[in-house]
Amino acid sequence: MKTRYALYDKEKKLVFGNLNDEDIKILNCPQQKDVTREYRFCKMCSENGEIKIISYDKDIVASSKRINSLALTILNSTGYIIENINCASRKISNDNKKILHNIVSISAHITQDIYSFFEVQDTPYNAEYKDKVKNKLAQHPEKAANLLFLITKHSDSIRDELLAVESIFSEQSNRLNKMQHSVHKVLMHVLYRFKVEFDDKNISCYLQKSDVIGFFDYTTVSSALYHIIGNFAKYTEQGTKISITLSHDNKSLYISINAFSLAINEDEVDKIFGDGYSGKVPSQLRKSGSGIGLFVANKLINANGGKLSVIRDKGETHTVIGIKYQENEFMIKLPQSSG
């Protein structure tokens, strides 16, 4: 930026500042002229507070009237600036609390799953206890395999929560490692993490075999898919099927995820991708989450040059024990190449 400033409220507390070290040196030097060929600065006070501003913009350097006008405008907006900063701070704090709560919950799930399987008590970890663990693994190989799936899923979930932080508070697209990937392989890696949930709910999952290649960042797209498929794992009707089909045209690939899941109202189609929004039916059933998952998934897909959309109530709708299910489809569009 060619113009930078430090704004203080009437109690001389810093409200906003983006001055660099050289700016501060110039502003704090008593012998320094307020204008040179390179810069112009001014200091101004009012009942709202104080501002120190410096500009290297040639148009502002050429006119004391312009820099004074700009300083006065900012100074008169002190209350509005404080209000917006406080609002943003509260939003960041709430997002941090949600994500921290999710990470703590995931960590607790890992401990609980391990302790439950091994029937951990207040027993010291010695050779005898180590033998008990070995025997337990040998006697229950299928349960042990499921435990590994759960631990892997929970560990990846922590990574995805941290990616959520990055997607919310930074410009992801600047640091993506985009390259070509097999879409089928990426989906398989994500689906394996939900094996236990699918088995528990007797949900079958069909993934179309395909050699479609996409051009995207593996980490962020797999994280987005994790949130989307996790949504289906949570809300799909027990004993039904999730179908995933792949298609493409000259420029883009399309991932269609279709299932009978909790009803999405017509007025929620755009809202479900909003920050902190939970659907009406899941909220009524107390199955709603933090409202971050689809918001993050949408941002990560967008960062990769793609688009996430939902088609609700594609046809058949039915009710089970008073719970309304309908055929819903999530469509993910991603680029096939860098062009």
Residues of the chain with CATH 3.30.565.10: 175-335
Cβ proximity of 288 and 274 under 8 Å: no
Sign of the dihedral through C-alpha 79, 95, 171, 256: negative
Cβ proximity of 296 and 168 under 8 Å: yes
**Residue-wise pLDDT tens digits, 271-323:** 887 776 666 666 666 665 555 778 888 888 998 999 999 887 776 777 777 78
**Residue 268 is which amino acid?**
E
What are the structure tokens assigned to 223, written together?
């994280």
Per-residue confidence of the chain (339 residues) as pLDDT tens digits?
A: 899 999 999 888 999 999 999 989 888 887 777 788 889 999 999 888 999 999 999 999 998 899 999 999 999 999 889 888 888 888 777 767 766 766 777 777 777 777 777 776 555 566 777 777 788 888 888 888 878 877 887 777 777 667 656 655 555 555 778 899 999 999 998 888 888 888 889 999 999 999 999 999 888 898 889 889 988 888 888 899 999 999 999 889 999 999 988 888 787 877 887 776 666 666 666 665 555 778 888 888 998 999 999 887 776 777 777 788 888 899 999 999 876
Distance CA 44, CA 71 (A): 7
Task: State the alpha helices, DSSP H only, in the chain.
Answer: 21-28, 58-61, 64-76, 78-118, 127-139, 141-169, 183-192, 195-200, 218-235, 280-284, 293-303
| pTM tops 0.75, yes or no | no
Q: What's 175-335's CATH class? A: alpha beta
